[in-house]
């Protein structure tokens, strides 16, 4: 066997080990179009899941990461540093965010534009195995569209939910990436329709939820910490978390 074939085989075994290893479930949130709300859905879904399960949200948008802007903190050592060889796995830092009665662990990433080094995507496998031992659910906030940066993490995920906004162009792109995932052997568990305004009837077979258009999405984590009044958004994401915990 030549060296190249052996390296490929080793990679396949490594990924197989990831799937076989017990522990947390990896949930991917890809989309066709950008700006549909993947990042806010990842955070609010994480907030809902962490009320019952140990949950982490990971920024996998290495070109234009923005989880840090929601949690208002960008650690010195992030997943991007690990993937570019600038720190060890155990050194990757998280931000602890109080949501309701629990704490959500958020792993922001530094942009590769700042670091000016190419990430080794294959190292994501070790990072995810490491997290699977710590958490029940690991939510991946991905870049939009189809590229190796979205496809690679999606292929390592236990459940894939395509996020689409309630508009025609977004629905069409969601349909397209779903087809491409199908051709790549990735099973889509369902669709999350975000910014829902009941404008159009576009039917997907397995819509897991419709999150309404609401300015409350920007109030993360505050909406989860209101004592007496729970905004509707909390209810929607709690229902979504219940559904997802039954599916994954
Ligand atoms: N349900 C919603 N209602 C209102 N605004 C939303 C909703 N979901 C997302 N947004 C807004 O849309 C913009 C894009 O959201 P973001 O999560 O960054 O999208 P993506 O990660 O898919 O690029 C943000 O300004 C966000 O506040
Ligand atoms: Mg985003």
Pair 108, 81: CB distance under 8 Å: no
C-alpha to C-alpha distances, 201 to 128, 166, 168, 172, 232, nearest whole angstrom: 37, 9, 10, 13, 23
In a domain, 77, yes or no: yes
pLDDT at 38: 97
96: number of Cβ within 10 Å = 10
pLDDT at 54: 98
**CATH code, domain carrying 158:** 3.40.50.300
pLDDT at 201: 65
Task: Please report which residue ranges of the chain form alpha helices under DSSP H.
Answer: 3-20, 38-49, 67-71, 79-83, 112-115, 124-132, 148-155, 168-183, 232-247
- Which parts of the chain register pLDDT below 70? 1, 17-21, 199-202
Q: Find the domain containing 187 and state its range.
A: 14-243
pLDDT at 19: 65
pLDDT at 1: 64
| Most ligand 1 atoms within 8 A of CB, residue of 32, 35, 109, 141 to mutate | 35
In a domain, 8, yes or no: no
Rounded to two decimals, what is the model's pTM?
A: 0.93
Number of domains in the chain: 1
pLDDT at 109: 97
| Most ligand 1 atoms within 8 A of CB, residue of 32, 217, 222, 236 to mutate | 217
- The Cα 67–Cα 74 span in angstroms is 9
Q: What is the dihedral of CA 234, 236, 237, 243, to 10 degrees?
A: 140
In a domain, 9, yes or no: no
In a domain, 248, yes or no: no
Pairing of strands 25-29, 159-165: parallel
In a domain, 221, yes or no: yes
pLDDT in tens, 43-77: 999 999 999 999 999 999 999 999 999 999 999 99
Instruction: From the CA of 163, give the closest atom in ligand 1.
Output: 22
Dihedral angle sign, alpha carbons of residues 185, 190, 192, 197: positive
Q: Which residue has the tokens 């076989």?
A: 20
Q: Judge if the beta carbon of residue 162 lies within 6 A of ligand 1.
A: no
pLDDT at 6: 83
pLDDT at 128: 94
């Amino acid at each position: 066997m030549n060296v190249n074939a052996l390296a490929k085989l080793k990679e396949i075994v490594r990924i197989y080990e990831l799937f076989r290893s017990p522990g947390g479930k990896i949930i991917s949130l890809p989309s066709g179009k950008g700006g549909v709300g993947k990042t806010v859905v990842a955070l609010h879904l994480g907030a809902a899941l962490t009320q019952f399960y140990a949950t982490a949200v990971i920024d996998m948008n290495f070109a234009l990461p923005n989880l840090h802007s929601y949690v208002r903190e960008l650690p010195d050592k992030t997943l991007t540093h690990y993937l570019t060889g600038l720190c060890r796995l155990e050194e990757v830092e998280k931000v602890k965010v109080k949501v309701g009665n629990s704490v959500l662990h958020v792993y922001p990433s530094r942009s590769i534009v700042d670091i000016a080094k190419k990430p080794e995507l294959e190292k994501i496998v070790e990072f995810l195995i490491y997290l699977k031992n710590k958490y029940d659910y690991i939510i991946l906030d991905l870049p939009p569209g189809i590229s190796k940066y979205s496809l690679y993490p999606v292929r390592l995920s236990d459940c894939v939910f395509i996020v689409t906004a309630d508009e025609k162009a977004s629905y069409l792109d969601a349909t397209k990436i779903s087809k491409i995932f199908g051709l790549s052997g990735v099973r889509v568990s369902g669709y999350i329709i975000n910014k829902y305004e009941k404008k159009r009837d576009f039917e997907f077979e397995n819509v897991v939820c419709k999150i309404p258009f609401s300015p409350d999405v920007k109030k993360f984590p505050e909406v989860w910490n209101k004592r007496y009044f729970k905004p509707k958004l909390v209810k929607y994401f709690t229902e979504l978390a219940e559904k997802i915990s039954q599916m994954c």
